[in-house]
Each structure stands twice: as structure tokens, then as C-alpha cells.
Amino acid sequence: MSLAPPPDAGEISAAADRLETAPAAEIVRWALERFPRGRVAVVTGLQAAGVAVIDMAAAVDHAYIEELRRERGWRIEVVVPDPDPIAEFVAEYGLDPFYGSVQRRLDCCHLRKVAPLDEVLTGLDCWLVGLRRNQTAGRARLRPVAVDVAHGGITKVSPVAGWDADAARTHLAARGIPLHPLYGVGYTSIGCAPCTRAVDPGEDERAGRWWWEQGIDKECGIHGRPVPITAAGAD
Ligand code: SF4
């Protein structure tokens, strides 16, 4: 049996329109049925919403369950960066240059996060993520299915785009899946240790990410460069 070719922009747009208000599990099912095994993956930094997407993917496609490991059995590939450019970066700028400027912070994020993920995505036709529209101003127009121009035109699926933070936690609680332990000590977003802190009551969900930076979206570059909040939040 021949495999269906990757979708073109027209098919992606039609799918996005049809799935705009669909339940998250239906969006996950569309992605797993549309793309062949081995060409589609869930990518997450272990935020609650991303873990919920993994859970829905496992429920939709029982063949994934064969790849389970230990109790839940999810097959998780840990992506690590190339140590050589990081060693050069540290030698030139020191261990924590990210506190000094946004550009240096983005340089670090590029080496440790963006570049390793780019390499993984070159082998895929589709990736699923736990992005939500209400996380940042720049994510406000997030579609459930989109052409990922930054990664060679593969398909990017955001099944929980319409969820809020509570919906992700409710899903995990109902499924008996533990949250990342940092959620239990005041964190509302999970990131690298030097760049993430717990938030105070009433603070924005992503206020603990790069908390010393003001006036730009809290983005590492994986999902686009951070933009000034005033420009992105115009609508
Ligand atoms: S979050 Fe901080 S430590 Fe992690 S890659 Fe970005 S700048 Fe570097």
C-alpha cells in the first residue's frame, strides 16, 4: 500500500477550518491517521498540556502502547544538544550570559533547544505540540493545524490550542497522570533551571520564564521568535 503524500497548504487550511473548535482528542486522531508511523511525533518540554497531548496520542493509536515503557510505557526520546558549540559559547560568554541581554539569551536557547529540535524535525512530516492560545499574545491566533514554514513546510498540530491551564491539569488528574513535580512548588511553566522560577499568586502563567526580561513574549525560539508584547497583543 502506498503512503499518502504530505498534505499541501490547501489541505492544511481545510483541516484547520474543520478542526478549529473540535475536541483536542479529535485533532490528535486526525494527525495520527493522516501521517504515517515514524513520520509524526509529539514534542513536549513536559508542560501539563504537552503531557496531555502524549496521553491522547497513546489513547488514539494502540500501536504506540506496544512501545510503552515501565508503568505508562510511553516511548520518550530525550533530545540533547551538541556539546561542542555550547562549550564554545560558554568559553566566550561565560556560564550565564542569558541574564545580560535578550540576544544572548536567544543564542543560548538556539544552541540548547532550537537547533537540536530542528535536527529531529528534519525526519518528520508532522509534529504535535501542547501550545495554547492563551499562553502568550503571540500565540493568540494559533490554529489547530498549520503549515510549519520554519521547519520546511511540515505540518504542526496544536490539539489543545483552545484549552486553558486548568483544562490540561484536569485532563491529567482524570487520567491519573502526575504533574511535573515543580508544579507542586509554585511553578506554572517548566523550563531550564537558571531561567525559570516559581510565580506568585496572581502572576501570569509564564511570568516565571526569563522573569528578568520585560516587554517581549516569553518564547525560546522553538515556536517562533519572541515579539514585543505591544505589537503581538494588538488584537
Ligand atoms: S532557557 Fe536559559 S539556560 Fe535554557 S536554553 Fe534558554 S537561555 Fe539557555
Integer-rounded Cα radius of gyration of the chain: 18
Tens digits of residue pLDDT in 58-82: 776 554 334 445 556 666 677 788 9
Cell of 10: 490547501
**Ligand 1 center to residue 101 CA distance, Å?**
12
Tens digits of residue pLDDT in 22-72: 999 999 999 998 998 788 989 888 788 998 998 888 776 554 334 445 556
Phi-psi map region of 82: left, alpha, beta (phi>0 left; psi -120 to 50 alpha): beta
- Which residue, by CA, sits nearest to atom 6 of ligand 1? 109
Which of 142, 206, 131, 83 has the alpha carbon at shortest distance from 197?
206
**Ligand 1 center to residue 98 CA distance, Å?**
7
Q: How confident is the model at residue 163 (pLDDT cuts 50, 70, 90)?
A: very high
- Which residue, by CA, sits nearest to atom 5 of ligand 1? 109
* CB-based burial label for 155 (10 Å; 0-12, 13-18, 19+): buried
The predicted model scores a pTM of: 0.83
Pocket of ligand 1 (CB under 6 A): 98, 105, 108-109, 112-113, 191-192, 194-195, 220
